[in-house]
Structure 1
Amino acid sequence: MGIFDTIKEKLSHEFIDIIEWLDYTDDTICYRFERYQNEIKNNAKLIVREGQMAVFINEGQLADVFKPGTYTLNTQNLPILSTLKGWKYGFDSPFKAEVYFVNTHLFTDEKWGTKNPIILNDDRFGLVEIRAFGTYAFKISDAGKFIIDIVGTDNNFTNFEINEHLKSLIATRFTNTVGEARLPIELYAANTTELSDACKAVMQSDFNSIGISLEKFFIENVSMPEDLKKEIFEYSRIDKLDLDKLTRFKAAKAIEAAANNDGGTAGAGMGMGMGFALAQQMGNIMQPQNVNTNPATQPSAAVPPPMPAAIQYYYAFNGTQAGPVSFEQLQTLFAGRTVNKETLVWKQGMSDWKPLKEVDELKAFLGGNTPPPLPQ
């Protein structure tokens, strides 16, 4: 490059009088306008488009923030910067200041999710694990605060650089919110809208503290282990059924299946007979019985004693007391390795906590209870 080309290039930079930025990306949040020696001419034109803000920084200090519009840069439009510079001659010479353009449009479809499962203590199912993921949308609400607290001197700041921080913040606040909600475990997936609104309200102040507004927050899915799903579905069905009728129905189906599997004509006749008998029995079960409403003629019926109360167990988990749980629930916890043979347990009637392996009825969890072979 010759000396004349060098002079021409320098002069072309020296006489730049329009400061503007056209964003051709979809992920840039902040861009530092580059100028020759960072000099801005007196009466230069500043163009700030819709969805942008321009921030002037002087020697690391916030000077002015411009909203969308076209401005002529002089002492009337830069009063704060004029005061900082202390100029007495009204910008007779070029001045130096850093200009940052900030995108204020909505950044949408940002992903978030829990990196590790969240452990909750459910009243019926004990300790359970859930995961969640979704999307959120944000925009810059305070360009000056965002530049000072987050961007610093970065000349091209993208949403990728802030997303990791925001996702960690969301995961932390989400964990706290669902922990305090104390909903039954099966209702988390059915109340994602209410949970989303609650989480958004909790997170808003954290976003505002760095100049960002959380515009939308969505929980798309709350998931749990498959075995826990099956247990919840089974519990839900049993809770809606008449257990006495269900027991008789299953017994009838089992007898009918056994009769059908017996070979020969006799077996077929037995199956047919059982089928007629069972059909009559099931009809009696499903149909309301004729009830004698005359107290004088009603026979006295024996009243069965109350059912014995199910034994409830407490167990130690991470140094704290957990439970109570039933025998079956404790067996499930043992199978899932939440408790083991050394875990301390207690039930009503015990004078002190004991390891699981020393409680007689719980020794069945440890195996070794296989009966010997039948005699020949």
Structure 2
Amino acid sequence: MGIFDTIKEKLSQEFIDIIEWLDYTDDTICYRFERYQNEIKNNAKLIVREGQMAVFINEGQLADVFNPGTYTLNTQNLPILSTLKGWKYGFNSPFKAEVYFVNTHLFTDEKWGTKNPIILNDDRFGLVEIRAFGTYAFKINDAGKFIIDIVGTDNNFTNFEINEHLKSLIATRFTDTVGEAKLPIELYAANTTELSETCKEVMQPDFTSVGISLEKFFIENVSMPEDLKKEIFEYSRIDKLDLDKLTKFKTAKAIEAAANNEGGTAGAGMGMGMGYVLAQQMGTAMQQPANYNNTASPKVTPPPIPAAVQYYYALNGAQAGPVSFEQLQALFAGRTVNKDTLVWKQGMSNWSPIKEVEELKVFLGGNTPPPLPPQ
């Protein structure tokens, strides 16, 4: 060996490579450190910063993984690579290996959403469609597995390249989860926190299988068609209402409307109905003995007040009521019921339309009140 060769060899051992990666982007997940023919000198310095991991790949095989820190690359710090290379007595010549730096910080505010509506079978509303969207956050927790299963030979892998895969995975698992939850349709929007936590637990194994940890998962909104939303709101109101109070309220409103429209059919019907009730009360009063106010006969007491007649009526194929005569008349005035609506009261053998029940014919207008009871 000549003197120049000796000097060249000594100089090559003096100059030490520095392998490091300074990330100036917000979206790079993995970066391959470039070297001519992938050659790395003996005793080169490897600098792995916080939020990074360095992965050595030799001839397509995972060799070594380095956590944050500064390393001198030799047979002591490259045990797996040394085994793969079969160096028994150390090495002094450059060696070839691909070095990948993996960004392990948290990638936040990643968007997801259902591309197509999810069809659910609700017990009360039948088949319904919902959509959902939100955000998630992830980080790499197994750099070696991630490079082998996802990155491959990509020299600059960004989160954009994996987002489509992750969003498809999330949409699929979300559909499965809400389908198995079998919640009432109106509760999905009200329980997004609990549903988010459940979805995160279901999706975590799929992320972990490729070296990724799903750190956060949020459902920001669950939407449905407007007509379904209105139907749910209406159902919710009816479910919470006291029907008896509602009937009384509507009766009062109908009487008020009739009083403001005395010349109309509804006003006439209302007046006739009130006349019929007044006639019943007068007939009852007239049946009492003439001397009912006579203080000389203290033992004479008025008869018991007759029980108010209660009517049941058919509404949308279901039985409703009971309601009083006045309440039924108010429902007729408000067009909740009509002349063909079936009604029944105690003593009737079958359901009959309003137009065929004698005391209810006053609702129709044009009829006269029934005659007073005999004295």
Task: Report TM bin, short chain.
Answer: 0.5 to 0.7
2:63 corresponds in structure 1 to: 63
CA distance in structure 2 between the partners assigned to 1:157 and 1:221 by the alignment: 31
Do 2:54 and 2:102's aligned partners in 1 also have CA atoms closer than 8 Å? yes
CA distance in structure 2 between the partners assigned to 1:197 and 1:59 by the alignment: 42
Amino acid at match of 2:207: F
CA distance in structure 2 between the partners assigned to 1:17 and 1:309 by the alignment: 88
2:72 corresponds in structure 1 to: 72
CA distance in structure 2 between the partners assigned to 1:58 and 1:247 by the alignment: 82
Are residue 28 (structure 1) and residue 20 (structure 2) matched? no
Partner of 1:233, secondary structure, is helix
User: Structure 1, residues 150-176: CA drift from partner, whole Å, max 9, x if none?
Assistant: 000000000000000000000000001
2:296 corresponds in structure 1 to: none
CA distance in structure 2 between the partners assigned to 1:27 and 1:212 by the alignment: 15
Written as runs of structure 1 = structure 2, the 5 A alignment for 1:355-374 is none
Amino acid at match of 1:59: E
Amino acid at match of 1:138: F
2:238 corresponds in structure 1 to: 238
Do 2:29 and 2:159's aligned partners in 1 also have CA atoms closer than 8 Å? yes
Q: How large is the RMSD of aligned CA atoms in angstroms? A: 3.1
2:154 corresponds in structure 1 to: 154
Partner of 2:213, secondary structure, is strand
Q: 1:251 to 1:73 in 2, by over 3 A?
A: same
Are residue 210 (structure 1) and residue 215 (structure 2) matched? no
1:175 corresponds in structure 2 to: 175
Partner of 2:221, secondary structure, is strand
User: Structure 1, residues 310-329: CA drift from partner, whole Å, max 9, x if none?
Assistant: 869xxxxxxxxxxxxxxxxx
1:226 corresponds in structure 2 to: 226
Structure index of larger Rg: 2
**Unaligned 5+ residue runs, structure 2?**
1-10, 275-302, 319-375
Q: CA deviation at 1:87?
A: 2.3
Do 2:16 and 2:45's aligned partners in 1 also have CA atoms closer than 8 Å? no
Q: Which moved more, 1:231-240 or 1:24-33?
A: 231-240
Q: CA deviation at 1:257?
A: 3.7
User: Structure 1, residues 273-311: CA drift from partner, whole Å, max 9, x if none?
Assistant: 99xx9xxxxxxxxxxxxxxxxxxx987858979888986
2:197 corresponds in structure 1 to: 197
Q: CA deviation at 1:245?
A: 3.4
2:130 corresponds in structure 1 to: 130
Partner of 1:22, secondary structure, is coil
Q: CA deviation at 1:243?
A: 2.4
2:163 corresponds in structure 1 to: 163
Q: 1:299 to 1:256 in 2, by over 3 A?
A: closer
TM-score (norm 2): 0.67
TM-score (norm 1): 0.67
Q: CA deviation at 1:130?
A: 0.6
Q: CA deviation at 1:236?
A: 1.0
Partner of 1:234, secondary structure, is helix
